[in-house]
Amino acid sequence: MNNRRRNEKEIDKDTLCVNDAQDAHNMLLVRGGSPLIGELEISGAKNAALPVLCATILSNGIFEIENCPRLKDVFTLIELLSSLGARCEWQDEPDERQGAITNTPCGTTLKINTANIASQDAPSELVRRMRASFLVLGPLLARFGIARVPLPGGCEIGSRPVNFHEAGLKALGARWHVKEGFVEVTARRLKGADIVLDFPSVTATEHLMMTATLCEGKTIIENAAREPEVEDLGQMLNAMGARIEGLGTSKIMIQGVKRLSPVRWRVIPDRIETGTFMMAVGIAGGDVTLKGTMPSYLDAVITKLRLTGLDIETDENAGAIRVFKKRHKRLNPVDVTTSPYPGFPTDLQAQLTAMMAFSSGVSVVTEQIFENRFRHVDELRRLGADIRVEHRSAIIKGKEMLTGAPLTATDLRASASLVIAGLGADGETAVFDIHHLDRGYERLDGKLRAIGADIDRR
Ligand code: EPZ
């Protein structure tokens, strides 16, 4: 494989790869009215890739992470691992994926050599740019006995405390000090413990599970998160030599081991990207087959979407989902409450709210996970959507037609909801501040264009 590190600038802006050229463009212009037709490859899951990359710190050697999505949050974490001394290289290979421009060096296999990690001090700017970087704290502590990482701040959707992470690491024997905005942790030796999470926090479960693999003795995490990304991380750790049981349940048991070994690991498909495209078809109409995905990760979502009248066919063996809807068919309203997996995911709440803005009745969408995740509502109202927010619920009165308008993205999933709303609005919708979007989607505009959407990056 060609290990030449690809110079992102070499790829011109029209390719489907995420690259620096996109930084120069901060707006997507969407013209509504085109149905979505064709096939799309789903990328690797952002929220699986991020903890998987952090887990490479636990062992020194060469990892090959396949199906790694090329998006900004992954690029940020690569910068962080490199700043610690790891060597990260994309394995360039012709991009055969659907809609990609062939022979564009745009591989998705990332080679990481962690043998020379020499620093345990994560740079503030990188951690503040991407909260999940905080997950390097435990692995650095487990491998080196010390770590210093900026305390992640809040973000657009909520205060995002890390008290579960703190309580868990302290239970494993860490000494935790906050100084000048940094968390400094030390431990002479880490010992397994019984931990109960007050809420099934995804990254707290991942953080404590990773750290516990190198503790002496047994750790039990009660009320653990059951998300597929947590289960995939645990399976990778087991492939590295960890001894973890109960993955996918709310009780995870980790028997500590002395050391772990590097592995080749394939990142699972992105269920949130999959759901986003399903709802795009719900808004624009058409007939799209999503490939390289896992229908079983989306049971709650598929059940709800079928209630709206969207036609959905799944093929678990083929890893495919077909979504289709006649262009002018009005979808039924539906009530949804977000909850931890296997419930309806909060990361698809904004996209569903956008889809229900076009439905034939009144829907109530309740957000139970984050305290400030309705920032897309004000922007959807600019399209003429009839939505009001009461406490943690959005009451959405569907309308047959919305009208394009200039909109401003506020956070990652809100930006996706505005883009897909534009697919169904009459006229032009300009979505500004799309750097939020590029954090968590690989080539969303390029993929939508490949199935017929009239969308340009400006
Ligand atoms: C993960 O965030 C995801 N991020 C989020 O995806 C996702 O929305 C969230 O899980 C819920 O599914 C990654 O996996 C990188 P939580 P995480 O800890 O782990 C509270 C996206 O758009 N809490 O499960 O940070 C917290 O305030 C992102 O891709 C504490 O109180 O979420 C929230 O109310 C957004 N103390 C609730 O738990 C803690 O120590 C759930 O948060 C930790 C969390």
Q: What is the pLDDT of residues 42-97, one digit of tens each?
A: 999 999 999 999 999 999 999 999 999 999 999 999 999 999 999 999 997 655 55
Closest to 59 measured CA to CA, from 229, 263, 265, 209: 263
Q: Closest Cα to atom 10, ligand 1: which residue?
A: 202
pLDDT in tens, 116-146: 998 889 988 888 888 899 999 999 999 999 9
Q: Closest Cα to atom 25, ligand 1: which residue?
A: 203
Q: Separation of 166 CA from ligand 1 center, angstroms?
A: 15
Q: Closest Cα to atom 28, ligand 1: which residue?
A: 347
Q: Closest Cα to atom 6, ligand 1: which residue?
A: 347
Q: Closest Cα to atom 35, ligand 1: which residue?
A: 347
Name the catalytic one among 54, 68, 88, 155.
155
Q: How confident is the model at residue 35 (pLDDT cuts 50, 70, 90)?
A: very high
pTM attached to this predicted model:
0.93
β-pairing, 218-222 vs 251-255, is antiparallel
Q: What percent of the chain has pLDDT over 90?
A: 83
HEC string for 10-44: HCCCCCCCCCHHHHHCCEEEEECCCCEEEEEECCE
Q: Is the CB of 201 under 6 A from ligand 1?
A: yes
What is the best residue among 46, 369, 417 to mutate for testing ligand 1's pocket, by most ligand atoms within 8 Å of CB?
369
**CB neighbours of residue 401 within 10 Å:** 11
HEC string for the chain: CECCCCCHHHCCCCCCCCCHHHHHCCEEEEECCCCEEEEEECCECHHHHHHHHHHHHHCCCEEEEECCCCCHHHHHHHHHHHHHCCEEEEEECECCCCCCCCCCECCCEEEEECCCCCCCECCHHHHHHCHHHHHHHHHHHHHHCEEEEECCCCECCECCCCHHHHHHHHHCCCEEEEECCEEEEECCCCECCEEECCCCCHHHHHHHHHHHCCCECEEEEECCCCCHHHHHHHHHHHHCCCEEECCCCCEEEEECCCCCCCCEEECCECHHHHHHHHHHHHHHCEEEEEECCCHHHHHHHHHHHHHCCCEEEEECCCCEEEEEECCCCCCCCCCEEECCCCCECHHHHHHHHHHHCCCCCEEEEECCCCCCCCHHHHHHHCCCCEEEEECCEEEEECCCCCECCEEECCCHHHHHHHHHHHHHCECEEEEECCHHHHHHCCCHHHHHHHCCCEEEEC
CA distance 140 to 121: 9
How far CA 275 is from CA of 143, 272, 281, 347, 449, in Å, comes to 37, 5, 10, 9, 17
Q: Is the CB of 369 under 6 A from ligand 1?
A: yes
Q: Separation of 9 CA from ligand 1 center, angstroms?
A: 33
Q: Closest Cα to atom 38, ligand 1: which residue?
A: 201
Report the pLDDT value the prediction gives residue 24, as an integer from 0 to 100: 58
Q: Is the CB of 333 under 6 A from ligand 1?
A: no
Please indicate whether residue 155 is annotated as part of the active site: yes
Q: Closest Cα to atom 14, ligand 1: which residue?
A: 47
Q: Separation of 157 CA from ligand 1 center, angstroms?
A: 10
Query: Contact 247/219 with Cβ under 8 angstroms?
Result: no
Atom of ligand 1 nearest to the CA of 272: 29
Q: Separation of 114 CA from ligand 1 center, angstroms?
A: 27
β-pairing, 243-245 vs 251-255, is antiparallel
What is the best residue among 76, 183, 203 to mutate for testing ligand 1's pocket, by most ligand atoms within 8 Å of CB?
203
Give 180: exposed, middle or buried? Use CB within 10 Å, 0-12, 13-18, 19+.
exposed
Q: Is the CB of 50 under 6 A from ligand 1?
A: yes
Q: Separation of 213 CA from ligand 1 center, angstroms?
A: 22
Q: Is the CB of 135 under 6 A from ligand 1?
A: no
Alpha-carbon dihedral of residues 242, 245, 246, 248, nearest 10 degrees?
Answer: 40
pLDDT in tens, 206-224: 999 999 999 999 999 999 9
Q: Is the CB of 160 under 6 A from ligand 1?
A: yes
pLDDT in tens, 385-416: 999 999 999 999 999 999 999 999 999 999 99
Query: Contact 55/139 with Cβ under 8 angstroms?
Result: yes
Atom of ligand 1 nearest to the CA of 229: 14
The answer, yes or no, to whether residue 14 has pLDDT greater than 60, is: no
Query: Contact 190/211 with Cβ under 8 angstroms?
Result: yes
Amino acid symbol at 202: V
Q: What is the mean pLDDT of residues 240-269?
A: 98
CA distance 292 to 318: 8
Strands, sheet with 175-179, edge to edge from the N-terminal-most edge strand: 146-150, 182-186, 175-179
Higher pLDDT, 103 or 424: 424
Higher pLDDT, 24 or 209: 209
pLDDT in tens, 157-186: 888 899 999 999 999 999 999 999 999 999
Atom of ligand 1 nearest to the CA of 73: 15
Atom of ligand 1 nearest to the CA of 369: 34
Q: Separation of 210 CA from ligand 1 center, angstroms?
A: 17
Q: Separation of 199 CA from ligand 1 center, angstroms?
A: 10
Q: Separation of 204 CA from ligand 1 center, angstroms?
A: 8
Report the pLDDT value the prediction gives residue 16, as an integer from 0 to 100: 39
Higher pLDDT, 4 or 372: 372
